């Protein structure tokens, strides 16, 4: 099927916003070290660019989750496919996500990570689709609020494609 990608947020807009968030985090965590937790695979591009813009000491870890039931609108229980390498105890943790959509994945994940005893726990997402929210999630840092359209690029995929686009685009089928 022919697909066309319409640009929603240009590379320049995304880069400028990531720089802004990096500066904000550097101010908020002055004198501390931040521990960034990347939710794979989508969060990886955002986390790398963001980490480069943070001026306080940074450590990184990665986890991979798959959600049950987002299709069936059931529990929203998340299965850990790859867990973190390091404990979170006593760390100032920021979870880095590509997008908060229904909120199911993140609300479950944040509760689970809170139980591991971090000194603090915040959530940072590049994109937020508030119109799609089913479960309440508190987001501390948001890049862009976007309308309810399926987007790709900057880590986000359509059938595992387009993660590597340096901008955020909308997939248009049969275009």
- Does residue 157 have an active-site annotation? no
Choice among 28, 101, 128, 131 that is catalytic = 101
Q: How far is the CB of 67 from ligand IMP (least distance, A)?
A: 6
Which strands make up the sheet holding 3-9, listed edge to edge? 3-9, 168-173, 151-152
Q: Which does 24 bind (CB under 5 to 8 A by kind): ligand IMP, Mg ion, none?
A: none
Number of residues this chain uses to bind Mg ion (CB under 5 A)? 2
Q: Kindly indicate which of the ranges 15-23, 46-54, 92-100, 115-123 contains the residues binding ligand IMP, using the contact rule CB under 6 A.
A: 92-100
Exposure b/e, 1-10, CB count within 10 A at least 16 = b? eeeebeebbe
Contacts of 45 (CB under 8 A, 6+ apart): 98, 154, 155, 163, 164
142 binds ligand IMP (CB under 6 A): no
Q: How far is the CB of 108 from ligand IMP (least distance, A)?
A: 8
Binding residue (CB under 6 A) for ligand IMP from 93, 99, 110, 123: 99
Q: Looking at the annotation, which residues are catalytic?
A: 101
């Amino acid at each position: 099927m022919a697909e066309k990608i319409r640009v929603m947020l240009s590379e320049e807009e995304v880069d400028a916003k990531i720089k802004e968030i990096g500066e904000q985090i550097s101010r908020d965590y002055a004198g501390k070290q931040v521990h960034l937790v990347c939710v794979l695979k989508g969060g990886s591009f955002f986390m790398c660019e963001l980490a480069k813009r943070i001026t306080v000491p940074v450590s990184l870890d990665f986890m991979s989750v798959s959600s049950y039931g987002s299709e069936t609108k059931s529990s929203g229980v998340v299965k850990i496919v790859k867990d973190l390498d390091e404990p979170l105890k006593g760390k100032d943790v920021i979870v880095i996500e590509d997008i908060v959509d229904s909120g199911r994945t993140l609300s479950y994940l944040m509760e689970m990570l809170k139980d591991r005893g971090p000194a603090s726990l915040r959530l940072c997402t590049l994109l937020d689709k508030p119109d799609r929210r089913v479960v309440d999630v508190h987001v501390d840092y948001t890049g862009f609020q976007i309308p309810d359209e399926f987007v790709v690029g900057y880590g986000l995929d359509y059938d595992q494609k387009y993660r590597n686009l340096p901008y955020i685009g909308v997939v248009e089928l049969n275009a």
